[in-house]
Amino acid sequence: MSFWSAVAVAFAGMAAGMINVVVGSGTLITFPTLLFFGVNPLVANVSNNIGLVAGGVTGSWGYRHELTGQAPTLRRLMPLSFVGSVVGAGLLLVLPATAFKAIVPILILIALILVVAGPRLQARSQRQAQDGDRSTPSWHAPAMGVGVFVAGMYGGYFGAAQGVLLMGLFSALSSESLQRLNGYKNVLALVVNVVAAAVFLLFARDSIDWLVVLLVGGGAFVGGIVGARVGRRIPPPVLRALIITIGLVAIIKLIWFTA
């Protein structure tokens, strides 16, 4: 890899780190960049996943204030992300690369519909609370659990736009603020990336390019810091619009790259 190629990959990692913290889908910057510079697709996917862990750490730390008092919720959801990511990373090692090409755009589209519907669903929950009905529908908790597991499995397999999937799920099933939900998303995505990275380190060492890991990781580390500072100041309507825009770009890119 030439000097300027390395610089481009590092900047792609920084951009991905920023976007992952604010929305998700940073992989849709780094992965195509690595392919453009001739990195093998499997090597690019595995090395990129490991490198982006650094951005997940700084991004999650940047949202620590939004997560104050939310330990019970995270303790309930993190194991589901953990198990899902193990399954997804295992699938990456045994399934052909085209296995998810049809379902991934559909999942992202569903997530975007949930993001759009989120404010209306949250408003209805608030009206019910004002009317004296403070109960949460009994199906919300298991539905969220299943959704977090599926998002973890998908994240362990590929990772692009898992943040959009999670934000769509949370917007539809939670009445928490969008920024707090973004904090949940950052922590759960970090769990997925760490577990997938561990699986790759144990079982796919031959598919790791450590120069790519270093370049993407260094850029993502800085991007996570910047992304947390920017993301926490974005108004909810703007953040929601950004989620939808990047989700649509993700669908287009995924279809184009897998056509």
- Tens of pLDDT, residues 40-76: 878 888 899 899 999 999 999 999 988 888 889 899 9
pLDDT beyond 60 at 135 = no
Q: Which amino acid is at 100?
A: F
pLDDT band at 213 (very low <50, low <70, confident <90, very high): very high
- In angstroms, the CA 50 to CA 241 distance is 29
User: Residue for token digits 């270093």?
Assistant: 214
- Say how many residues make up the chain: 259
- In angstroms, the CA 168 to CA 187 distance is 16
Q: Can you read off the two tokens belonging to residue 81?
A: 């992300």
Report how far Cα 191 is from the mean position of its chain's Cα atoms.
10
Tell me the percentage of the chain whose pLDDT exceeds 70: 80
User: Residue for token digits 């999670």?
Assistant: 166
Contact in structure between 206 and 81 (CB atoms under 8 Å): no
Q: Whole-model pTM? A: 0.78
- Measured N-to-C along each axis, helices 71-94 and 140-157 cross at an angle, to the nearest 10 degrees, of 40
- 250: exposed, middle or buried (C-beta count within 10 Å: 0-12, 13-18, 19+)? buried
Query: How far does the chain reach from its first CA to its final CA, in angstroms?
Result: 27
